[in-house]
Amino acid sequence: MSRYLVAGGAGYVGSHVVLALLDAGHQPVVLDNLSTGHRDAVPAGVTFIEACLSDRERLAEVFRAWKFDAVFHLAALSLVGESMKDPLRYCRDNLSNGVNLAEAAVRAGCLRFVFSSTAALFGVPKVTPIAEDAPTTPVNPYGQSKLMMEQALGWAEAAHGLHSASLRYFNAAGADPLGRAGEDHDPETHLIPRAILATLGLAPPLHVFGTDYDTPDGTAIRDYVHVADLAAAHIAVLPRLEHGSVRYNIGNGSGHSVLEVMAAIERVSGRKVPYENGPRRAGDPPSLVASSALLRAETGWTSRQARLDDIVRTAWNWHVAHPQGYAQREAALTA
């Protein structure tokens, strides 16, 4: 049994990585400051450490107390619009705190590091689907902060032998098919949960950011990958780290517009999605679609839930069962 530190393991993708590790027979240890994550997203029996990556002494204590086979780093800020308003905060949290974690791992001799990166570092791509060697020209501070962290990890390999996997997420979506975890942000900014909550009457009508993009229906196109498939990729890349650092795009290789996502929710739910149109949001490219050919070829990874309707169905089931998200379950436990 291998032991892994999952920084950000109480968050959306992190909690699904924890489940994937458990299902594979490994021992995850979760470190999270709960600024956006949920204590109840951590499964019973999993060691939980409440700490901030800015606390270097606490990180050193964690690595002294435990021996880890690898580190998964999923603890970061991730809102494009917020990054445009507060770029220095994103540089501090996403770069400085990530460097703190990498440094602690190096000092402890833990030289395998899986980093949650983003497709946002590609900016407005000239060619789609996007391959790993596409130009990295971020158009927002969020993408820039992730690119800088990738570059820092490159230098850490050269100087210290830290082998890293930078996983460039496209749009994580859906929920654990067994209902053990789901998506619960405050505020919620991701399209699928926002549309579902609006359809359930738990949120205002969906606000569509831009209807005049150069796309077939005028709305932005994104590549949606099921969060459980995304979590599985984190485990699939571990053997590659025996030989050096890697960078992979993770998506389904096909894009769906905002209107297509809304249509899928209506098919799954049998209800209409209430929505209103608005202007574009600063920092949003018109289309982001991944080529995951390299990841598939080098690791054997494949997306098991690639159909948009299947992704939406797991998200719909989660929100119907948890209309108040984790807060509902946490309230029940303290009642």
Residues 300-313 have pLDDT tens digits of 999 999 999 999 99
Lowest mean pLDDT among 22-36, 38-52, 75-89: 75-89
Structure tokens at 92: 């501090």
Q: What is the pLDDT of residue 333?
A: 40
Please state the length of the chain.
335
Q: Comparing C-alpha atoms, which of 302, 224, 232, 304 is closest to residue 265?
A: 224
- Non-local (6+) Cβ contacts of 95 within 8 A are 145, 148, 149, 152
Instruction: Please state whether beta strands 221-222 and 256-257 pair in parallel, antiparallel, or not at all (unpaired).
Output: antiparallel
- Pairing between β-strand 224-226 and β-strand 112-118 as defined by DSSP bridges: unpaired
Q: Could you give the angle at which helices 191-199 and 308-321 cross, rounded to 10 degrees? A: 50
Question: What's the confidence (pLDDT) of residue 213?
Answer: 96
Of residues 168, 10, 159, 26, the one with CA closest to residue 99: 159
Residue ranges of domains in the chain, CATH in brackets:
3-334 (3.40.50.720)
Q: What angle do CA 20, 120, 144 make, to 5 degrees?
A: 110
Residue 263: the pLDDT is 98
Residues paired with residue 208 on neighbouring β-strands, in sequence order: 277
- Confidence (pLDDT) at 331: 46
Take residue 119 and report the two structure tokens written for it: 């497709």
Q: State the Cα–Cα distance between residues 208 and 276, nearest whole angstrom.
A: 6
The pLDDT of residue 311: 98
- What is residue 285's predicted lDDT score, i.e. its pLDDT? 83
Yes or no: say if 90 and 76 are a contact pair by the CB < 8 Å rule.
Answer: no
> What is the arithmetic mean of pLDDT over 263-283?
95
Q: Which two tokens stand for residue 91?
A: 């540089």
Q: In the chain, what's the furthest Cα-to-Cα distance? A: 56
User: Does the annotation mark 142 as catalytic?
Assistant: yes
Q: Residue 114 phi/psi, 5° resolution?
A: -105, 120
The predicted structure's pLDDT at residue 243? 95
Q: What integer pLDDT is reported at residue 15 of this predicted model?
A: 98
> Using the 8-state DSSP alphabet, how is residue 120 labeled?
G
Peptide linkage before 187 cis (omega within 30 of 0): yes
Q: Which residues pair with 113 in a beta bridge?
A: 71, 164
Catalytic-labelled residue, pool 4, 142, 224, 275: 142
| 169/91 Cα distance (integer angstroms) | 19
Neighbouring-strand partners of residue 126: none
pLDDT at 334: 41
> What is the DSSP-derived secondary structure letter of residue 96?
I
What is d(CA 190, CA 169) in angstroms, rounded to the nearest whole number?
Answer: 14
pLDDT for residue 180 is more than 70: yes
